[in-house]
Amino acid sequence: MSQTANPQEFSRLRSFFWPVHMTELKKVLPMILIFFLICFNYNILRSAKDALVVTAKNSDAGVLPFIKIWALLPMALIMTVIFTRLGNRYKKETIFYWMVSIFIGFFVLFTTVLYPLRDVLHPTEFADSVAAFLPKGLMGFVAMFRNWTYTLFYVMCELWGSIMLQLLFWGFANDVITVKEAKRFYGLFGVGANFSGIFAGQASIMISAIASKKLLFTNMESWTQSIVMVNIAVVIVGFAIMAIFRWLNTQVIAKEPAADVVSKFKKPKVKMSMRENFATLKRSKYLMFIAIIVLAYNLVIHLTEVVWKNQVNQVYQDPVLYNSYMGKVSIITNIVATLIALFITSNVIRKAGWTKSAMITPAVLLITTIGFFSFLVFRNSLGMFVAPFLGMTPFTLALFFGTSQNCMSRASKYTLYDATKEMTFIPLTPEEKMKGKAAIDGVGSRLGKSGGALIYHVLLLLVPLAGVAPYVGVLLLIAIGAWMLSVKALGKRFETQTALGESMEKAKDLKEAAELKEVLKEEEEAKEEELATIR
């Protein structure tokens, strides 16, 4: 079994920043690099997808709720079914290559076919005729199918995060890392992810600058150049991910003792189906609490980001400028997240325990959400007192608060939320991990965002997008409250599961030690008998 960190084994400084044994580097470093590259694609795609759909012709941030419920949710179900079918036929390593290949294939198709032919493929005239008799609250739905290739791009970018990041990488990590190792390693994974966000943000800014000056393709418009360069980068990184993952499995994982790896990435013995996945979820209160946390997080993020992105779109209507601004936000977010990962995540989890660590993210979201929506609702009255001192208009100040809220919430998510959530899967059986994770991360996270989208469907039919803030604020408080209650309940069960697992592992070690002692004793007795015979 891999060694477990003991405070006496490391210097105080190393225990704080790099609690990894030399023998563990061959496994930890490639995993950090894979996580870095997956998150790089996630961050660079996130900026591009928002800029593409929000700034498109006859579109705004109001299109996002419609995409998430009418396009993203069905595609999430389809991808989860594909993952489940592959899981019944192939070992996990092969599934990883299949899923990465699907994403690479799409981004190649989008760059070479769908985007260049967008004017031919988009049903502009039909969309105009439909928009003529639909209420204003459904214009987002019209924009969704008017620019359907953009919608498909947005969906695949979103699914990269839920499938590649949450389902495949963390599923792999939970199989090859123990709970004790996770307390040391998962914070380091967060550092790698946050550095990737900084690099991705800088890449978005550089791509926007190159595109605006038309330095590479003089015959293309600026935004087209940006999209092409982003997709080329994503495809190259995708191949690099598969190459490193292959090396890790053949040179490290395959050579570890069977006891060191939970599943060894073998073909699962238990057949999976969507019905069975959700049945497993329903039978386990432990998994249900994880599902509530995931649903609540995604609901909170979606309800907040639609309002915020609408403000960004009003300031940056050009897609190149919008993409550049999102790149800057990504850099700030990940600098904050890096500091949290370096100085807080692993140390808080080790010293404060799981429950207190998991409670930090909803607490941060509660504070920042109250600040953002209070200023949004009472912008005029608060702006009169605050804006003159800061030299900003009330609208710009509201955008500043929204951006700050987004940075803090995502920084907390990339560090403490991800680490604590993934740790909860480790004590489970291989069947519960596979089925529960497929249901929660494959579909559950999408249901959270789709639930937020459904709420916006109703609100936009009653009030314009600019007037939804008070209603959204109240719903956010309810969701965060449910999140905190679930963390408290799950924390008790997690500690019990972990203690039970450690007791069983200790008992197993004692049994093996006793058996070894007995074997040595028998060998010693045999030698003595042999010597006695010789004499």
Chain centroid to CA 484: 20
Whether residue 67 contacts residue 53, with contact meaning beta carbons closer than 8 Å, is answered with: yes
Whether residue 298 contacts residue 448, with contact meaning beta carbons closer than 8 Å, is answered with: yes
Q: How many CB atoms lie within 10 A of CB 122?
A: 18
Whether residue 174 contacts residue 422, with contact meaning beta carbons closer than 8 Å, is answered with: yes
Residue 91, pLDDT score: 86
Listing DSSP states for 9-42 in one string gives: TS-HHHHHH----GGGHHHHHHHHHHHHHHHHHH
- Does residue 254 or residue 52 have the better pLDDT? 52
Q: Is the dihedral of CA 267, 273, 274, 276 positive or negative?
A: negative
Domain 22-201+235-534: assigned CATH number: 1.20.1250.20
Residue 146, pLDDT score: 95
Q: Which of 515, 194, 484, 182 has the alpha carbon at shortest distance from 334?
A: 194
What's the average model confidence in pLDDT over 250-270?
Answer: 60
| pLDDT at residue 109 tops 90 | yes
262 — pLDDT class (breaks 50, 70, 90): very low
What's the average model confidence in pLDDT over 278-286?
Answer: 82
Express each pLDDT in 380-406 by its tens digit.
777 677 767 767 776 777 788 788 888
- Does residue 282 or residue 455 have the better pLDDT? 455
Can you say whether residue 149 is alpha, beta or left, with left for phi > 0 and alpha for psi between -120 and 50 degrees? Answer: alpha
Q: What are the distances in angstroms from CA 377 to CA 195, 380, 518?
A: 35, 8, 74
Q: How far is Cα 392 from Cα 379, in angstroms, rounded to an integer?
A: 12
State the burial class of residue 466 (Cβ atoms within 10 Å of its Cβ: 0-12, 13-18, 19+): exposed
Q: How far is Cα 457 from Cα 512, in angstroms, rounded to an integer?
A: 60
Angle at which helices 285-315 and 469-534 pack, to 10 degrees? 130
Q: How far is Cα 466 from Cα 532, in angstroms, rounded to an integer?
A: 96
Express each pLDDT in 370-381 by its tens digit.
888 887 887 777
Residue 507, pLDDT score: 59
Within 8 A by CB and 6+ apart from 351, the residues are none
| pLDDT at residue 273 tops 70 | no
- List the structure tokens of 327: 């790149």
Q: How many CB atoms lie within 10 A of CB 457?
A: 17
Whether residue 24 contacts residue 9, with contact meaning beta carbons closer than 8 Å, is answered with: no
Express each pLDDT in 348-374 by its tens digit.
887 888 999 999 999 988 988 888 888
Whether residue 230 contacts residue 48, with contact meaning beta carbons closer than 8 Å, is answered with: yes
SS3 state at 133: coil
Q: How far is Cα 429 from Cα 287, in angstroms, rounded to an integer?
A: 12
Express each pLDDT in 314-332 by its tens digit.
888 888 888 888 888 888 8
Can you say whether residue 192 is alpha, beta or left, with left for phi > 0 and alpha for psi between -120 and 50 degrees? Answer: alpha
Chain centroid to CA 19: 24
| pLDDT at residue 23 tops 50 | yes
- List the structure tokens of 342: 């370096």
SS3 state at 110: helix
Express each pLDDT in 403-453 by its tens digit.
888 888 888 877 788 888 888 888 888 778 877 877 787 667 767 877 888
Residue 152, pLDDT score: 97
Q: What are the distances in angstroms from CA 340 to CA 98, 173, 190, 412, 449?
A: 34, 21, 9, 8, 26
Q: What are phi and psi of 133, to 5 degrees?
A: -115, 0
Q: What are phi and psi of 442, to 5 degrees?
A: -75, -40
Whether residue 230 contacts residue 349, with contact meaning beta carbons closer than 8 Å, is answered with: no
Within 8 A by CB and 6+ apart from 169, the residues are 34, 35, 38
SS3 state at 256: coil
- Does residue 157 or residue 58 have the better pLDDT? 157
What's the average model confidence in pLDDT over 283-295?
Answer: 91
Within 8 A by CB and 6+ apart from 98, the residues are 86, 90
Q: DSSP character for 444?
A: I
Whether residue 47 contacts residue 323, with contact meaning beta carbons closer than 8 Å, is answered with: yes
| Cα dihedral: 253, 255, 256, 259 (round 10) | 100
Q: How far is Cα 340 from Cα 416, in angstroms, rounded to an integer?
A: 8
Whether residue 55 contacts residue 317, with contact meaning beta carbons closer than 8 Å, is answered with: yes
Domain ranges of the chain: 22-201+235-534
Query: If you count DSSP H runs as helices and E runs as strands, how many of each does the chain have, helices first?
Result: 23, 0
Q: How far is Cα 157 from Cα 147, in angstroms, rounded to an integer?
A: 16
Whether residue 307 contacts residue 472, with contact meaning beta carbons closer than 8 Å, is answered with: yes
